[in-house]
Amino acid sequence: MKTTLHPIDFLIIFVFVIFMIIIGYLLKRRMKGSVDFLLAGRKIPGWITGIAFISANISALELLGMSASGAEYGFLTFHFYYLGAIPGMIFLGIFMMPFYYSTRIRSVPEYLRYRFNRPAHLLNSVITLISLALGSGIYLYSLSLIFDIMFGWNPHLSILVSAMIVLLYTYFGGLSSSIYTEVMQFFLTVFGLFPLVYIGVVKSGGWESLMSQIPESHKHMWKYLPNGNNPLGWDILSVTVGLGFVLSFSYWTCGFAEVQRAMAAKDLQAARRTPLIGAVFKLFLPFLTVIPGLIAISQFKQELNGDYNKSFLILLREYYPSGMLGLGTTALLAAFMAGMSSSVTALNTIFTYDIFQTYIKKNESDAYYLKIGKRSTMVAVVFAIFASYIAMQFSNIMNYIQLLFSFFSSPLISIFLLGMFWKRASSWSAFWGMVTGTSAGIMHYILTTFGFLYYKSDMVSNFYGAIFSGLACFLSMVIVSFIEKPDHHRDLQGLMYSARDREHDFWNPIILAWGAGLIALLGCFNWFFR
């Protein structure tokens, strides 16, 4: 299904790339210290960090993967948004950002150093670095795969060129560059791809006509979940607990690539609004990612021939003429860059502050740590290139991502909830909880691989793996906390709900109104697509 870009299309892509680099270069003069480079000086308005928060999660992989899932499974795919994302984002804004922001910690792992101990902090820092490196490699590989399928471009060259573009503007402008470019990339992605959905619905004869052309099983989120009676084999427990609680809350409330955007906000209220603003956009994002798959299955079923990964690409080719095709391709490139730059900026921050400054060289000048931050940015991109070749070994990248989450992310929600709301959680409980939880996730995967456990699909296996991982971590922490002698002299001020910062209004009515409004909208969407 190779297609051809015309000069006008290449011009649009070229202008976009140059503009990204210029933004990074112009912000270079503001990078006077490591806080400016790695934390954006904590001066950015909430609406900007809110858009960057959601943009950091959009990638070419999501556009390709969710449209493919939409074509194959329909509205079941909405669960990745309405259960697997938005509840966790609301919880982050209402409950967890006050602990992150008011304590002035510089990263999510750093919270564990103050609340628990240094071994827990070091282990979490290393695990986070590994998961970020693997994640950025997935972004690189997914984009190269798209360009190979659509235009026949050499995938190895696509990986190198794309990595170098992200490196240039991130190296110059750090997190500020990443955030401001992510805002532009978000709107470019929306405006570049919204016409695709609109044209597709019109050519399908309108919304009602489109719904009449897709299978009945594609029209519902909840109807076919009981007993796993659906093409994905999903059941109520795996979706609500595995995806909707463990994976959602672990990723969105403890994942530093996203939380870092909220930490860059200018004040606590802006930081709390950041994920809530992101959640508003997340509510409507499935219409940009999943609906194209439904259009493809109704209009180009024969051409798809069971290869649902082509859904988005077929629509681009069939519906976009020259110029518009360049805009659509640029939208894919923008989505990829937002995802990868978020991983790179999170990675360089954790390495510089949580590894290098804390355990290697403690008392150097701020200019020295700025230099380390820039060098680690370069190393992060190199690691991403190598990680992209690891991602190539997996036939289903979406399953690969969820598998990584079930290993690395799932224990975190138990650690942070117990740490913030249970004073008895002891110093060593987080360390052993992480070890036990991660080990449980890996053991679950091994048992499934060798046939000792059976699930209807790999994704269901990942959901249950997350449940086992999170539960093992929780139980391990409780046991260790009762075994270890309590330390009544530890300073937990600002790190727990009972010892929260009283200078700020934890139960802020405006923030609560945001949360209540989002929950109401979320309920309406779930009811409509039930």
CB 327 within 8 A of CB 12: yes
Residue 324 placed within a domain: yes
Question: What pLDDT sits at residue 322?
Answer: 83
Q: How many Å apart are CA 236 and CA 217, to the nearest integer? A: 16
Positive or negative torsion for Cα 382, 386, 392, 397: negative
190 alpha-carbon distance from chain centroid: 17
Residue 224 placed within a domain: yes
Q: How many Å apart are CA 488 and CA 19, to the nearest integer? A: 55
Go through 367-379 and write b for each residue having 16 or more CB atoms within 10 A of its CB, e for each that does not.
eebbebbbebbee
Q: How many Å apart are CA 210 and CA 287, to the nearest integer? A: 13
Residue 219 placed within a domain: yes
> Phi/psi zone of residue 323: left (φ > 0), alpha (ψ -120 to 50 degrees), beta?
left
Count up the domains in the chain and report the number.
1
Residue 465 placed within a domain: no
Residue 522 placed within a domain: no
CB 473 within 8 A of CB 415: yes
Nearest by Cα to 167 from 54, 24, 18? 24
- Distances in whole angstroms, Cα of residue 224 to Cα of each of 48, 54, 216, 221: 39, 29, 10, 7
DSSP, res 77: G
10 Å CB burial of residue 440 (0-12, 13-18, 19+) is: buried
Average confidence (pLDDT) per 10 residues, the chain, 530 residues: 76 84 74 68 83 79 80 89 94 91 83 93 91 80 73 80 79 75 83 89 92 88 85 88 92 85 88 94 91 91 79 85 84 78 85 91 86 87 84 66 80 93 94 95 93 87 93 97 86 85 85 95 92
The domain that holds 303 is classified in CATH as: 1.20.1730.10
CB 162 within 8 A of CB 28: no
Nearest by Cα to 179 from 106, 264, 85, 276? 264
Residue 321 placed within a domain: yes
Domain that includes residue 178, residue range: 44-102+136-395
Question: What pLDDT sits at residue 512?
Answer: 94
Residue 514 placed within a domain: no
Q: How many Å apart are CA 429 and CA 354, to the nearest integer? A: 20
- Give counts: helices (H), strands (E), the chain: 26, 0
Residue 491 placed within a domain: no
